[in-house]
Amino acid sequence: MSEGVELEVAGRTVTVTSPDKVMFNTRGDTKLDLVRYYLAVGDAVMRQMHDRPVLLQRFPNGAHGSNFFQKRIPDGAPDWLHTTTVQTPNGTPSRALVIADLAHLVWAVNLGCLGFHSWPIRATDPEHCDELRIDLDPGPGTTYAMAVETAHETKRLLDHIGVTGFIKTSGNRGLHVYVRLAPTHDSVAVRSAAVAVARELARRRPDLITDSWWKEERGARIFIDFNQNAPHKTVFAPWSVRALDHAPVSFPFPWAMLDTLQPHDMTIATVPAWVAEHGDAWVAMNDSPQPIEPFLEMVRADQAAGLPDAPWPPVYPKMAGEPPRVAPSRAKKPKQTAPKQTAPEQDGSTT
């Protein structure tokens, strides 16, 4: 390995150690290539990740090696790092990195972090969620074309209720639709909005879309994973790089590209040039935060129809209004009571 490279980033000196370490075997991209990618799209990255806590997924030996998630900042981190306290669903606190500027991001990439999993809050306002994340999750038996059609259906719904959404690839097989919310409600309320969206989409296209939390009930349909909005959940951040050999990016793109863009078209080699030519497709997202009220109207309509809350993930405590947290095939069936046997009537005759 060559000696470290010192970079001036956001007014700080950040050292990239082992800059020629190969992070993506097929392409041969190095750690320094990865850093340069993030710097090339730095303005777009910071529009989405500034002031957000992040969960680091570290690949010390590159995308082809083992990995681990790191929520806590390691000992020996520079004292200029911005951090905040986040919690797991069971209430365990940890000190997480906040992306205060690009120097923070480059510091994490130097640790072998390929992509970032971000919270839907800003560290300066942790009580309020400012993103609704509609995760179009392609399960077994589905195709990317089905995810694309689900995205079209999602946009039709958002247009119908007067809300602006923005789309990106997940960096793998799925698609994510984001709504920038005015920071007025907590993550519990935003999750309820996601549940209502999932239910309405499933009602509109039951052949294509499912809101069933239980895998045994989904079939070959696109699942709208509403629980990605549960408190303390993170989602793979826009512009982050997946740990796949061709280095695909979770790429924000214009809705007009939905029918032509393939999930792995955009990589660390192609995204910077695309952004330089076309700009950031999400550049206006922060200009007009959307009210959550249209979604809460959908929530109230479902409640008025007698629908309970949807199931929460197993790591969460039992939540108010939640149905039994058990797969339908494992739910206890009510005992069948055998009909009471009565003795035949006697007619008084003898034999």
Between CA 142 and CA 145, with CA 143 as vertex, the angle to 5 degrees is 135
How would residue 324 be classed by pLDDT, with cut points 50, 70 and 90? confident
Of the candidates 209, 198, 148, 212, the residue with the CA atom closest to the CA atom of residue 174: 148
CATH of 128-238+282-313, one of 3.30.70.20, 3.90.920.10, 1.20.1630.10, 3.40.1010.20: 3.90.920.10
Once rounded to an integer, what is the mean pLDDT over residues 10-33? Answer: 95
The predicted-structure confidence for 222-277, as pLDDT tens digits, reads as follows: 999 999 999 999 999 999 999 998 999 999 999 999 999 998 899 999 999 999 99
Question: Which of 126, 131, 57 lies closest to 85 in space, CA to CA?
Answer: 126
State pLDDT tens for residues 185-204.
999 999 999 999 999 999 99
Model confidence at 137, pLDDT cuts 50, 70, 90, reads very high
Q: Output the pLDDT for position 317.
A: 87
Q: Is the Cβ–Cβ distance between 66 and 243 less than 8 Å? A: no
Residues of the chain with CATH 3.90.920.10: 1-119, 128-238+282-313
CA distances from 273 to 7, 9, 267, 278 (A): 22, 21, 10, 9
Q: Which residue has the tokens 């069933």?
A: 212
Phi then psi for residue 137, to 5 deg, are: -100, 110
Q: How far apart are CA 330 and CA 314, in angstroms?
A: 15
Helix, strand, coil content of the chain in percent (nearest 5): 30, 25, 45
Q: Which CATH number fits domain 1-119: 3.40.470.10, 3.40.50.1370, 3.90.920.10, 3.40.430.10?
A: 3.90.920.10
Q: What ranges in 119-186 are assigned the alpha helix state H?
A: 144-161
65 Cβ contact list (under 8 Å, min separation 6) = 59
pLDDT at 272: 98
The CA angle 177-72-115, to the nearest 5 degrees, is 35
CB 130 within 8 A of CB 124: no
140-174 pLDDT, tens digit each:
999 999 999 999 999 999 999 999 999 999 999 99
CA dist 309 and 306 (Å) reads: 10
The answer to whether the CB of 158 falls within 8 A of the CB of 167 is no
Report the pLDDT value the prediction gives residue 157, as an integer from 0 to 100: 98
